[in-house]
Structure 1
């Protein structure tokens, strides 16, 4: 996670958890002269549109006071969904045995896009089974990992 994302996580995680939600992850991207801050929240009972609006209001207040984003930004709050992004090692571990799509920043074994089943997570890497072979991806190389929903979910 980039330093600016880490700082935003440190600032906003207590706000979200204090409201009774889990901050599943966040994405922060500067796009020219503006930025996008996207928060993914979760809860055991699921997340509604009203939940997202309440978190958005609280987070907006903290961002207004703390002013950690130096450019105009857009804030989005949503649930992780069935095709949820995986942000940290515990997420991969939780979904061991599930299928994921992964993109890496640099080629691993000659490719950057993978679709496979999570087999293990250890020592800064995730091992996928891709077309019958095992591929170990360094987590620092992963730029995006997303669950593939099972049919009927």
Structure 2
């Protein structure tokens, strides 16, 4: 099973406060453990929402909203994609993670949909397209 593991933003991360050398080293050691265990597929930190944008959809209309965004606790400051046997394994890994922020913080874990989760709506033609795109991404060296 694949999981998206999201580090929730804090007032510090939204203010652009960069992690200390100690935090970077600690997180680097944790990431190394994840890679050696075959768990980590990808992982990145994100710039504050002030550097981002949202696109709101309403029928055929598109509205662009520039950051920063309110409700810091609802924002994501970074993420991993992990391959784990179960939600419990992902939880166990998160419990080993260094605190990603200087103060209180939160990490959210969400399963990623797999092809079989879509049932009959994911027709053989759509499965073929999905496989073709994943193969193309792999050839280009991009995670799928």
Higher share of residues assigned helix = 2
Larger Rg computed on CA atoms: 2
Band the TM-score falls in, shorter-chain normalisation: 0.3 to 0.5
**More strand, by proportion:** 1
How high is the TM-score relative to the length of structure 1?
0.35
